[in-house]
Structure 1
Amino acid sequence: MKETILVLLLWTFLLGACSQAVEEKKGNTPVRLIEVAFDLPDIRERGKLIAIMQYNPTSYFLYRGQPMGFEYELLQKLTKQLQLELEIRISNDFSEAFRMLSEGEGDIIAHGLTVTKHRKEKFAFTEHYTTTRQVLVQRKPDQWRQMHPVKVEKALIRNQIELIGKEVYVHENSAYYSRLLNLSEEIGGDILIKTLRGELETSELVRKVANREIPYTVADQNIAEINRTFYTNLDTKTPVSFPQRQAWAVRKSSPQLLDTLNSLIVGLRGKLEFNVTYNKYFKNRRAFSQRIQSEYFSKSGSKVSPYDPLLKQYAHQLGWDWRLLASMVYQESRFDPKANSWAGASGLMQLMPETAAHYGVTDLTNPEESIKAGVNYLNDLETLWQEVPDSVERVKFVLASYNVGPGHIQDARRLAEKHENDPNTWTNEVDQWVRQKSKKKYYLDESVKFGYCRGEEPFRYVKEIFNRYEQYQNLIAKE
């Protein structure tokens, strides 16, 4: 009797495991997920929204020193309305992204995820912000430019039944994989689905088709068509799905976050601003081609600006990560050596002529001279703020002083100390008091020696440099 029970238990376990394996194959998210409970009130208390994103030529990338991307710009708008900071964590692996979301390593997957029944069993999806369909990405025949259009058409797959026996490469656990499984069933023959794991994203598979590394892949139509503007030997006209909704994913244990995101997305969707942003990344073919051919496009190169060698050299002298110095230079001049401000500052580092003269520089349009003088000034400010023990906080005091002068920042420290805040911490302490220096009550305070200050400027200056630096750390190698 005991043997019979053991056999039955063993069969039950094996059948369950088989069933789970089939479900794993059908779906596109991991099966065993540990979901944490962390909703909007917890996110607000933390002060930032953590978004899981794909690093690709349309969602999130760096171009000429500026973080860009369709989903990235949407997130910027949404977090601004939510009054939250934004932290980005990158994963181009669908399984890994869903695991990260489930286990609380991120609050949202901000990517154009296809909404499927299987995915909805495990995760909650926002209101869709666009629709697309999946298309076959295939190469045109050799010498297609010299061929009659009718012959080109005959050489291409237009009937999905012709995919029987063909090798199609897609990412494991993607909606493309699920769709090809269903399509094989519908056409009554096996499509040879070749699955790929890891960080290889859709645009890279499209490139592999164009470069003859793989025969076929499947992509969302909007991604396929914008890539086709650069890879002109590709065809993307053959659909393999009906129209599908695209949305972002959150945990089912985050209903307040979901409701808030839905309200914001509905408010954006279809508006002129939304359409302009969408067209910028998926319709402007010329701009797309220029970006992906540029040495300053982070997906194809590691350069932020033409002045990277100088920034690395002088950042080393300063003891800073060169990407932090690069973010500061972008903030000052957007890497334009001829930039001039209304106040008379000029050059890459936007120095005033008298400051430049103090450091022996007369030609601020010379990139190296400007960087050298700016770094010398930053070094002096580092020395001034040595009493700040934390090195990261010290850098923030240095940057704020570079922007508005050390006197105003000393005033803000005195105000912070007077009101029992930490005078050696910039973030959420002294930065709040420099903002108060635009108010008469505070700039006339007896502890203030340098009077009125438009404190919002240094507050934003430091914040924006560090936010950009975080994106540079995500996308550009340190060395």
Structure 2
Amino acid sequence: MKLHLLLLFIPLMWCACKSRTTPASPMNAAFEREKSASGGESDLEDIRKSGELIVATISGPETYYDYHGAGLGLQYALADDFARSEGLKVRVELANDTTELLAMVKRGDADVAALPVGEERIKEAGLQPAGVNDAKLHTSWAVRPHAEELAEALRAWFTSNTLAEVQAGEKKRLREVHEVRRHMQAVFLSRDRGIISVYDPLFKQASAATGWDWKLIAAQCYQESGFDPNARSWAGARGLMQLMPRTAADLGVAADQVGDPQTNVAAAARLIRKLSGQLADVPDANERIKFVLASYNGGIGHVRDAMALARKYGRDAHRWDEVAPYILGLQSPQYYRDPVVKHGYMIGSETAGYVQSILSRWQGYG
């Protein structure tokens, strides 16, 4: 009897195992799209369904870099222009060099390669040129050999006028980079009474939350917005402490509350406290302030890159004066393409100047 039950149970087990869904392999999104396309759906249709175009490129001022949560660089601007024409968003994946960049597209880590090489190199890599192709810029775009719908769409989009139009738009954005629409207030509301602004009570609350001198937070606020709660940057940063929408959301601030002075300053205090915790390896509290300010402005990833460079070249990675030269260095290919750098190019002069201006103003506040 037991034998009969066992013989009956084995086939049932086999059927049950066979009917289970095979676990999905950890393939990338672009490869899964091409796999789906081979089943009858075009590669471009699948990209449209995903809602994003994955573009691989190399970090640099002429290609792509992250600026306060917004993408800049000509290659990014071109990719964004094409993506918008298709109702898509752009997701950038960075490569360390051209060889890695081509390999990323070939194995399906990205839909498009935007790279500074000619068509011959693309063909040698087994990819097909599509879209941007400009000899003066020495740049071409590439897609996988079977991504025909995407290739055709790119060729139709890129005309003789496309590059000039996108370049003009990018130049306009670069002019706006350092502009914040704000109504500057006086540096001191009443020097005799020690009143810096009408928002001093908010800065004092933030001081209690962060452990920073309230006058330091006031100095940072003046640098960010000039004490204008309605200040807005071209990239979408808002309020007294110029919080980006994504940062504000991460800090639990609703979109319709970002401009509220109390909410804005309190959220900035939470960000300062968070960054201070992430930089707890900087032992000296005064030095840590400088690193936190730099991270608030330029992003902690770039600051960590500069610290890694300082360490590599025998400098003290926990002293701002020894790291600041590498913050500036991240504007140079020699440094932003260094293997220890994970976040690429940044406008280091702005971040270094930001820290210096705030510290000088803080000292002036007494």
Shorter-normalised TM range: 0.3 to 0.5
Structure with bigger gyration radius: 1
Greater RCO, 1 or 2 (C-alpha within 8 Å, sep 6+) = 1
TM-score, normalized by length of structure 2?
A: 0.48
- Tell me the TM-score normalized by structure 1: 0.37
